[in-house]
Structure 1
């Protein structure tokens, strides 16, 4: 991790991605717990990703996109 603080746009983009994940999850009527079960993450991790407070890995984003049956680009675009 860089020693300098992250630029403001990084946490803002994480929140945008989290908002897209939440929207896709609620459209599919999945709880955070159910999505977590589908992708092998706990509910708290899903919650932190949706809030944009967790710097998640690309692997987790790929799993979430697959679990929601949406292209990754729809979540991060």
Structure 2
């Protein structure tokens, strides 16, 4: 958690968690995840894990998808 706070203070994290998740949902939709809106798309994944492994580690939503959903 201390690393996360430092990343926010140093400007490494620029998106809010909500903005990050919205971008993630848009990318997942392009990758074939289905849903009528971003919330339904995000229900297809473990959002808490995405925030922990993606957002808090300063990955972009695209980087997170590449690391976790591409084979």
TM-score interval, smaller chain: 0.3 to 0.5
What TM-score do you get using the length of structure 2 for normalisation? 0.37
What TM-score do you get using the length of structure 1 for normalisation? 0.35
* Greater percentage in helix: 1
